[in-house]
Structure formats: C-alpha cells, structure tokens
Amino acid sequence: MKKMMALTMAMVMTAMALAGCGSSGSSDSESASGDIPVIGISQFAQHASLDNCREGFIQGLEESGLVEGVDFVIDYQNADSDTQLATQIAQNFSANNVALMCGIATPSATACYAAAEDKNIPVIFTAITDPVEAKLDSGNITGTSDKLPIDQQLQLIRDLQPEAKTIGILYTTSEPNSVSAIKEYEEKAPNYGFTIESIGVTQQSEVVQAADTLISKGVDCFTNLTDNTVVDVLPSILEKTNDAGIPVYGSEIEQVKLGCVASAGIEYVALGRQTGAMAAKILKGEATAEEMPYETISECEYYINSETVAAMGITVPEEIASVATDVAAEA
C-alpha cells in the first residue's frame, strides 16, 4: 500500500512539474500569438538540405499571402536524429492542438502522423522519397516527395561523358530513400547504356573504404544519392576521386558546391516552398490535407561546377550549359 502511495505521489509530482514547466512554455507562445494558429515543425536532424526545406516551407507560406506572427506562428523543434525525441515532439504538438504539423524527413513525419491518429490535426510532410512505402499517402496527411530525378541525372551523365560505361554509387543500407533509389538506378541505367556498381555501407567509417573499392573496380564516374551518411563525408570521397580523375555527380546544389562536377537534382528550398504553398491552402481552408495528393517536384534544376568540370577535362554541351547554374562562378 505504501509502495503504491509512493508511486502515485511520484506520478503526481511528475505531472505537476510537467504542467508547471509546460504551461510557462505555452503561455509564452500564447502571449505572443493570441489565437494565431500554430504550425508545429518537427525536423528530424540538423542537416543543410532539411534546413533548406524548412526555410523554403516558411517562404512558401508567406508567398501565399500569410504573414508570420499575424496569420501563423512557428513552433520549430529538431529531433537530433533521435526517434524517441521525434515521438515526444509530435505528442507535444498534438497535446497543444496545433493547427498543422509539418514533419521534415520520414521518422518525424511518421511520428507526427501517429500522434495525430485520433485527432483531426492535418499533417504535412516534406523530404520523403516514397510516401506510399511509408504509408503516408492516405488520411489527413499530404506533402511533397524529394524523389530524385534519376532519368535526368542519367541523361546528364551521358551528355557529359559519352564514353562512360559504369557508374559507381555508395549508399547506406539502413536509409530507405537510398535503397529505393538504388533499385531505380539499376532499372533505368541500361536505358542509357550504363551499368551500376553499388556498394552499401552500414556506417560512416566504412564510406571512404568503399569509395576506394569502387575506384579500384574502375568505374567511370560516381553519382550520389541524398544519402546523409555518405554525403556527410563527401569531401573525403572527392579527395580520392580527384586523385583518380573520376568525376562525381551530385544529387543537389550543396554537393556541387563542395566539388561535384554537376547535378540534375532537387533544390530543397523550392521543395519547401511548394510544401509551404500546400500548407497555406490548408490553413486558409481552401483544401484539406485529406483531399490533396502528395506532390513531387516536376522539373529539376541543373547545376555545374565549372572548376571541377575543367579539372576533369569534360566538355559541357551547349544545351546543358545554357540551363545550368554554375556554382563555381557564383562563389
């Protein structure tokens, strides 16, 4: 009996502590916002592309005529790559009955959707490659997919390296986005006369070794996915490939800035803006998340890095040079 008393006491204390601290937090935001709808943004990790998504998302809301601080306020939380934390962030949003939850990357979006299961809080996601696979394609949820424009990328490589035969790809076996992208690359590569040589790694420390292996297998070039584990050590990969004289193609602008030769990729700010525009429709009541299908970016952006292109001795055909942004010239 005493034991149960102690347990109950502890729980009540816990609850009170929580309520005390929690209410001070929410009263802050209330005093700032009044009845302004709150948008809870749960971003899964600190990452340049995901940050771009978030910034684009807010831009998209403002481009749709909504003003931050007047029409909406943002409660931004980052899960630091921790799924437990993503769960608790989503539950916080749900308990505070935010007007809309925005999940950036799959684990955060999944946590938001689970926390909203019993409520009718709309969830919007971005930076998810395959919403169908993640079962986020039906219900009061919608968003944008960052599926890579693989056809365009293969065509780009063909245009820049007409003689190339094998493309090397490094990826992490635990990243769902990478696994599905590899499948698609393997299906589509023969259409452009390529074969794919891929190596899956399980952790960051293996990436550079795997790059050595690919180089020794004599691949004609590398192409990157949006694989966080691999992209995080891109500079060390580039050091190896530059020595070997092998061009590396990026999957987005940040990678080309780092020294990849070119990319037909996604611009994450644009993806975020598209997502923000969808969120604005929901907030204005013009459409519900339920009835809006998820969207992908239809046209891709071309980027080249004229410095590395020159170093590799590649000639860029006029039709690509005219549409591509040269990030070396920008910098």
Q: Does 242 bind another protein (CB under 8 A)?
A: no
Rounded CA separation 121/302 (Å):
37
Of 49, 52, 64, 94, the residue at the interface with another protein (CB under 8 A) is: 94
Helix or strand holding residue 66 (H, E): none
Q: Which is nearer to another protein, 28 or 232 (CB)?
A: 28
Q: Does 209 bind another protein (CB under 8 A)?
A: no
Of 88, 213, 306, 325, the residue at the interface with another protein (CB under 8 A) is: 88
User: What residues contact 29, with CB distance under 8 A and at least 6 apart?
Assistant: 38, 73, 75
One-character DSSP codes across 23-49: HHHHHHHHHHHTTPPEEEEEE-S--HH
Q: Which is nearer to another protein, 24 or 322 (CB)?
A: 24
Q: Which is nearer to another protein, 67 or 132 (CB)?
A: 132
Contact 110, 131 (CB under 8 A): no
- What number of CA atoms fall less than 13 Å from residue 22's CA on the CB side? 12
User: What residues contact 34, with CB distance under 8 A and at least 6 apart?
Assistant: none
Q: How many residues bind another protein (CB under 8 A)?
A: 60
Rounded CA separation 54/22 (Å):
25
Residues paired with residue 125 on neighbouring β-strands, in sequence order: 103, 143
With contacts defined by CB under 8 A, name the span among 77-85, 209-217, 232-240, 260-268 that binds another protein. 77-85
Q: How far is the CB of 79 from another protein (least distance, A)?
A: 9
Q: Does 89 bind another protein (CB under 8 A)?
A: yes
User: What residues contact 33, with CB distance under 8 A and at least 6 apart?
Assistant: 69, 73
Q: Which is nearer to another protein, 84 or 322 (CB)?
A: 84
With contacts defined by CB under 8 A, name the span among 64-72, 172-180, 215-223, 249-257 that binds another protein. 172-180
Applying CB under 8 A, which residues contact another protein? 2-3, 6-7, 10-11, 14-15, 17-19, 21-26, 28-29, 43, 46, 75-78, 80-85, 87-89, 91-92, 94-97, 106-107, 110-111, 113-115, 117-118, 133-136, 139, 173-176, 179, 202
